[in-house]
Amino acid sequence: MNDYEGINSAQPDRTSIQGHDVTESAPLLANRNLTQGSPGASFGSSVFNLMNAIMGSGILGLAYAMASTGIIGFCILLIIVASLASYSIHLLLKMCDQTAITSYEDLGLRAFQKPGKVLVASTILIQNIGAMSSYLFIIKSELPTAIAGFLSGDQSGDPWYLDGRTILIITAVCIVLPLALLPKIGFLGYTSGISFLFMVYFVIVIIIKKWSVPCPLPQNVTVSYSQFSNSSDCVPKLFAISSKSAYAIPTMAFSFLCHTSVLPIYCELRRPSKSRMQKVANTGIAFSFLMYLVSAIFGYLTFFDEVDSELLQGYGQYLPHDVVIMTVRISILLAVLLTVPLIHFPARKAFIMLCFPGRPFSWLIHIVVTIGLVTTIVLLAIYVPDIRNVFGIVGATTSTCLLFVYPGLFYLKISSESFRSLQKLSALALLVFGVCVGVLSLSLIISNWVESQ
């Protein structure tokens, strides 16, 4: 059995587990079946894996979200989204404890039979394809610039190593594909730790470089820093509401979504239990929240209203040959690149559950589906015009469903508690919040597109 595919599809009876605490025994049995005698992933490795699933391209779009909502408005929204993300994971783990199911798709099956399972698998597939394509979009747009920054003199012609599409294909084939073909998600714990260190370095540089970019910003950066734009405003906004604000919450939801990886990480956790996995989730979300907040604040205070939807592009424009910026660009690119295989695991699992339900593990299917998914996200990354579109659409639809709507809806359906219980009322509030956020954000984003046309 591989990639936790088919685990607990038969939904074992709770009464058959005797003499043990059900909170620990149900996931533990699934973990033993999966790892086949291996000790499982450590607490630290699981936290790194979860943080790697949380932190990716989203960190580059949060400064733009802050510019659209203001500092205080952004902080309030970020706290709300992070808290709700932790609470929705709590609901997922509690449902796993009650049903002995360790698969998001099988929770959908338990709640609404086969349509529920198909809906969840389709949502996961679309969400993770959108996430991976956004990561590769950054590779396509930033890696050639990073390479050019280390080259001296003018490059004659149009060399292949400065072409984003060519570089994207090479990195996908040489790095993403081999890591995505690994049989277990726990193997990526080491790459997740490296990715986390890259993210920490990125945040530190964002803080330091806040004082290297002048304000007001130079109007013509190719001439000198003596010409400044008179329209630039260097006073930070505490609250702001505009048409751009529609991208704020979807971007945050996109940035905190790790729910498709939570249950697979739970399956491979050493000494698995609901409380232990909840500590993993809370630790990962807390560290991610801190790094998101710091990078967004200093990124916004560097460029103010001129901040780009992809933060690194601003540094590339105003500090094109800064050695530290070039190294941090490479670091964030490697961090994002190492996240793609981790997001690929639940996407492949969802696709196999949709197209090959009930089939035993096959290396042929495993390899063919992996190659097909990697090819798809490469093509999307090549033809997507703006990363903000990915954050907005994916965040307003699939991210809000997986983060807010499905955990609340499934808990209302599966749990045997009274509907007036605090837990079910909280699940209902989470469901209503997710629906409202998704509908409102998607409507505003579509309206902005129509106006821009």
> Which of 9-18, 113-122, 154-163, 292-301 has the least mean pLDDT?
9-18
Looking at the domain assignment, is residue 275 inside a domain?
Answer: yes
pLDDT at 157: 61
Q: How far apart are CA 191 and CA 315, in angstroms?
A: 26
Is pLDDT above 70 for 19? no
Is pLDDT above 50 for 191? yes
pLDDT at 10: 36
Q: Pick 21 or 384 by higher pLDDT.
A: 384
> Which of 96-110, 201-215, 387-401 has the least mean pLDDT?
387-401
Looking at the domain assignment, is residue 147 inside a domain?
Answer: yes
For residue 2, CA distances in Å to 107, 127, 273, 346, 387 come to 19, 22, 21, 12, 33
Nearest to 209 by CA among 288, 293, 327, 291: 327
The residue to which tokens 């989730």 are assigned: 281
What's the CATH code of the domain at 356? Answer: 1.20.1740.10
Beta carbons of 278 and 94 less than 8 angstroms apart: no
Return the biggest CA–CA distance within the chain: 77
pLDDT at 189: 65
291 alpha carbon, distance to own chain's centre: 14
Q: How far apart are CA 86 and CA 411, in angstroms?
A: 15
259-268 and 104-150 helices cross at what angle (nearest 10)?
Answer: 100
pLDDT band at 222 (very low <50, low <70, confident <90, very high): very low
Looking at the domain assignment, is residue 23 inside a domain?
Answer: no
Is pLDDT above 70 for 30? no
Q: How far apart are CA 250 and CA 392, in angstroms?
A: 6
pLDDT band at 2 (very low <50, low <70, confident <90, very high): very low
pTM (global) more than 0.85: no
Is pLDDT above 60 for 223? no
Q: How far apart are CA 24 and CA 159, in angstroms?
A: 57
pLDDT at 408: 93
Beta carbons of 92 and 50 less than 8 angstroms apart: no
Q: Which domain holds residue 227?
A: 41-452
Is pLDDT above 60 for 36? no
Looking at the domain assignment, is residue 12 inside a domain?
Answer: no
Looking at the domain assignment, is residue 2 inside a domain?
Answer: no
Average pLDDT of the residues in 174-182: 88
pLDDT at 221: 52
Beta carbons of 307 and 217 less than 8 angstroms apart: no
- Tell me what the pLDDT averaged over the chain comes to: 79
Phi, psi angle pair for 362, to nearest 5°: -135, 125
pLDDT at 391: 61
Looking at the domain assignment, is residue 109 inside a domain?
Answer: yes
Is pLDDT above 70 for 225? no
- Highest mean pLDDT, choosing among 336-350, 390-404, 425-439: 425-439
Looking at the domain assignment, is residue 308 inside a domain?
Answer: yes
- Asked if the bond preceding 216 is cis, omega within 30° of 0, the reply is yes
Q: Spell out the residues 6+ positions from residue 154 whose beta carbon is closer than 8 angstroms to its own.
A: none
Average pLDDT of the residues in 173-178: 90
Average pLDDT of the residues in 243-253: 76
54-107 pLDDT, tens per residue? 876 678 888 888 988 989 999 999 999 899 999 999 999 999 888 888 788 889
Is pLDDT above 80 for 155? no
The count of structural domains within the chain is 1
- Highest mean pLDDT, choosing among 13-27, 85-99, 387-401: 85-99
Looking at the domain assignment, is residue 370 inside a domain?
Answer: yes
Nearest to 214 by CA among 228, 200, 202, 201: 228
